[in-house]
Every structure is written in C-alpha cells, then in structure tokens.
Amino acid sequence: MPDWGTWVLVWILVWLAVSVLVALVVGALIRAGGGAVERTDRAAALSVAASRRREGASIAGPAPELERERILIIDDDPGLRLLLRTTLPLTEFDVEEAESAEVAADTARFFRPDVVILDVGLPGTDGLTFCRELKGSARSPHVILLTGAELGADALRSAGADAILRKPFSPVELLTLVDKVSNVITPSPPVSAGESEQLLIYARDLSRVVEVERRQRRLLEHAYRQTVTALVDALEAKDRSTGLHGRRVERYGLELVEAFDESLVADPSLEYGFLLHDVGKIGVPEAILRKPGPLDASERRVMQRHPELGVELLRGIPMLEGAGLEVVRSHHERWDGRGYPDGLAGEEIPVAARIFALADALDAMTSDRPYRKRLSWSAAVDEILVGSNSQFDPQVVAAFAQREQRLRRICVDLTERAA
C-alpha cells in the first residue's frame, strides 16, 4: 500500500498536468482573440528569475511584476520614431527618443537603455560609428540597427550590433527582435508591410494583443512555479533527510551555469529540471531512501532507476522540454563513463547535466544522510577537485572554483533556514 507521501506526490503531479492543459487552453483563446499572431507556448524567459535569484528572493514569492525594459530609439525621421514608439507597449517598455547620435549620447547617460534601436543613416555621427561607441561603453546595451540598405557581414561584425531590422518592417518583426536580443519570448511570424497609416493602426492593435498575452503568460508562469515548489516540498517530506536539498541544488546549479556558460540561462526548462531532478524517487520505497547504511546490489538497482522514472513522469510537459529533462535523466552520469542510467562519458553527457552533477554532489557531501554524516565544506571542495576529469567535467570544476565562495554563502543561508 503506498504511503501518504506517495499519494501526495501523485496528486501534485496530476495538478501539474492540469495546469499545463489550462495553459494550452488559455493560449488558444488568446490566439482566437488576437488574430493571426502565433505564439510559442514555452514559459517566459528567466530574466525575472535571474533578477530574483540575485536578490535572494524565494521562488514561491508573490506573482512577479516585470520591470519595464528601457528602449532608446535613435532616428532622424519623426514619423518613424512615432511608429516605433506606438508599436512598443507602454506597460512593457519605457521608451525615449533621439534624433541624432549626439543627442542620444546625452540621453543614454541618464536613461541607461537596455536596448537601442539605431538608424544607420543618421546625420552627423552615423549609426555604425555610434553603435561601436555604445558597444564599447561600460554598460554596452543591446543594439538593433535599422536600415533600408544592404549591410555586409563585416560591417555588422565591426559595429558589434546584436541584430538588424530592414525597412520596411512589420511591428511583429520589431517586437521579435527586441525580445530576442533581451532573451524574452514573443510572437514571431512576420506580416507584409502595408501603407504607413495601416501599419500605424496595426501597431496599436498589436501592442494591445501582446500586452494581454504577456500578462496572461506571466500568471501561468507563476502558477507553474507554485506547482513545482509544492512538488519539491512534497518530495522533501518523503525523504526528510535532505532538508532543503532541492532549493540548495537549484541555487548551486544556477550559479555554476552563469559561471560556465551564461547563455544556458535562456532555456526556461533549466530551473525546473534543477528543482525536479529527483522526482523519480516517488517510485523508490522509503525503506531504501532512509536506509541507515550502504544499499545492497538489488536496492542500488532500484535507486538507480529514479532518473528514468523521473523522465517518464515529466515527459510531455512543455515547461520541461529542453535542458530540464536532460538534467532529470543524466544528473548521475560521470565524466569517466561510470555513472548511470546510460553510462555516458565526457561530452556525450548533456552540458546542463554535467553542471548539475557537480551541484548535486556538492550538496550530498555537505548534508547529513542516513548512512553518513556530512563533510566539512573544505573537505567537500577537496573531493570535487580530486574528482575533476573522473567524476566531473574539468571545465565545470573550473567554474566551481570561480564561484566557490558564493556557493558557500548559499549553503550557509539555506542550511540555517532548514534547521
């Protein structure tokens, strides 16, 4: 007969599946009301989560309010500036304008834009020259070049621009590029550019559609996070020896990802994979989880099935498609090929799983378990260094060395909370 903890976990998984179905239904309704604008059904980008992590905020906090992105439009055509401003919803963006590079330089000092939409053919200092100045500055905003002419790859590379928008353009193309360079997800199919008046009307209508969609998407994202948090809490109730293991390894993993390859943070499934990496332990008897000694061969085989069970439970959930599911399956693989469940070695192991394997091992070593007492932080660091090129990817170990002091602070903070 399954214990109460197993029933709670099964119920929460059903809740998670229902949440996904609700998300799909709401997305269909939004598409029906918004015309022919297609949208991705992936979760919103991790930019909000990254900012909350830097502030030490809890994942289970109140629904996030996104800070508006600051956009600086630089174009000598006032009509085009009006079109660009109208396309960008005021609830999502804080927009300033400048008619030349010289005016924009003064504006940028105080406005500090996140994204600059920059016309190439400016009077005075041209757009390519000013782009180089912006990208060479300390803040280095994202720059989208706006041009009606063909630009060669060498010119774009030398200017350092993040993207190029060719005239004539549609509002959706503009929104797609703004969100692409700042790692946010938006609708992507372009439409044909029409007459200026029609395009202006369409831009206004589109901005309202996108505003409604983004607000709904943030609510769904918050519901996902609450569901995942409840599931993690229930997992830790089943295996009480782990304390706040899920929260610690999530924080460790995200720190290591930022040190190893910050571009990985753009995958919205990653954080969920970190939190739910051990969800397959639902199928492991508590007698094995809490055994106060080494597991025998048959018990070890049961325990080593939990990554595959986790993938079976989570497969098909959109918010985990990508690196998140790879973490669930492969976080017990070893660099030398002696891990499980697939015996992968070296770069055969997905990069997110290689990073998380170190985070998971670090927390295991520095936590009390039924079969042994925790190691000191210093001893755990020594074990990780010894495991470089055998248990762990040596490049991940190098990233760990860069962030070791930050990881130690996370350990102290969350261990105190779990006490």
- Looking at beta carbons, which pairs linking 408-414 to residues 24 or more positions away fall under 8 Å? 408/377, 410/248, 410/251, 410/252, 410/255, 411/248, 411/363, 411/366, 411/377, 413/56, 414/244, 414/247, 414/248, 414/251
Q: Tell me the CATH number at 166.
A: 3.40.50.2300
Predicted model pTM: 0.50
**Is residue 36, in this structure, part of any structural domain at all?**
no
Q: Which pLDDT value is given to residue 406? A: 92
Q: Which is it for the CA torsion 288, 294, 295, 300, positive or negative?
A: positive
**Is residue 208, in this structure, part of any structural domain at all?**
no
Residues 130-145, mean pLDDT to the nearest whole number? 87
**Is residue 405, in this structure, part of any structural domain at all?**
yes
Whether residues 404 and 299 share a domain: the answer is yes
**Is residue 200, in this structure, part of any structural domain at all?**
no
Whether residues 172 and 315 share a domain: the answer is no
Radius of gyration (Cα) for the chain, nearest Å?
Answer: 25
**Is residue 22, in this structure, part of any structural domain at all?**
no
Q: Which pLDDT value is given to residue 57? A: 40
Whether residues 185 and 263 share a domain: the answer is no
Whether residues 410 and 266 share a domain: the answer is yes
Q: State yes or no: pLDDT of 59 exceeds 50.
A: no
Q: Which pLDDT value is given to residue 29? A: 40
Domain limit, last residue, from 136, 169, 193: 193
Q: What is the pLDDT of residues 146-193, one digit of tens each?
A: 887 776 667 767 788 888 888 777 777 788 788 888 764 343 344 444
Whether residues 183 and 246 share a domain: the answer is no
Whether residues 395 and 262 share a domain: the answer is yes
389 to each of 275, 340, 358, 402, how far by Cα in Å?
26, 17, 12, 17
Residues 59-63, mean pLDDT to the nearest whole number? 43
Whether residues 279 and 343 share a domain: the answer is yes
Whether residues 187 and 263 share a domain: the answer is no
Q: Tell me the CATH number at 368.
A: 1.10.3210.10
| 48-57, 171-180, 189-198: range with highest mean pLDDT | 171-180
Q: Which pLDDT value is given to residue 15? A: 53
**Is residue 46, in this structure, part of any structural domain at all?**
no
Question: What domain count does the chain have?
Answer: 2
Q: Which pLDDT value is given to residue 235? A: 63
128 to each of 30, 88, 107, 123, how far by Cα in Å?
39, 24, 18, 12
Q: Which pLDDT value is given to residue 229? A: 62
Q: What is the pLDDT of residues 368-381, one digit of tens each?
A: 877 778 899 999 99
Q: Which residue has the higher pLDDT, 328 or 265?
A: 328
In which domain, by residue range, is 271 found? 241-418
Q: Which residue has the higher pLDDT, 293 or 20?
A: 293
Question: What confidence tier does 238 reach under pLDDT thresholds 50, 70, 90?
Answer: low
Whether residues 187 and 258 share a domain: the answer is no
Q: Which residue has the higher pLDDT, 67 or 301?
A: 301
Question: To the nearest whole number, what is the mean pLDDT of the chain?
Answer: 76
**Is residue 86, in this structure, part of any structural domain at all?**
yes
Q: State yes or no: pLDDT of 55 exceeds 50.
A: no
Whether residues 303 and 359 share a domain: the answer is yes
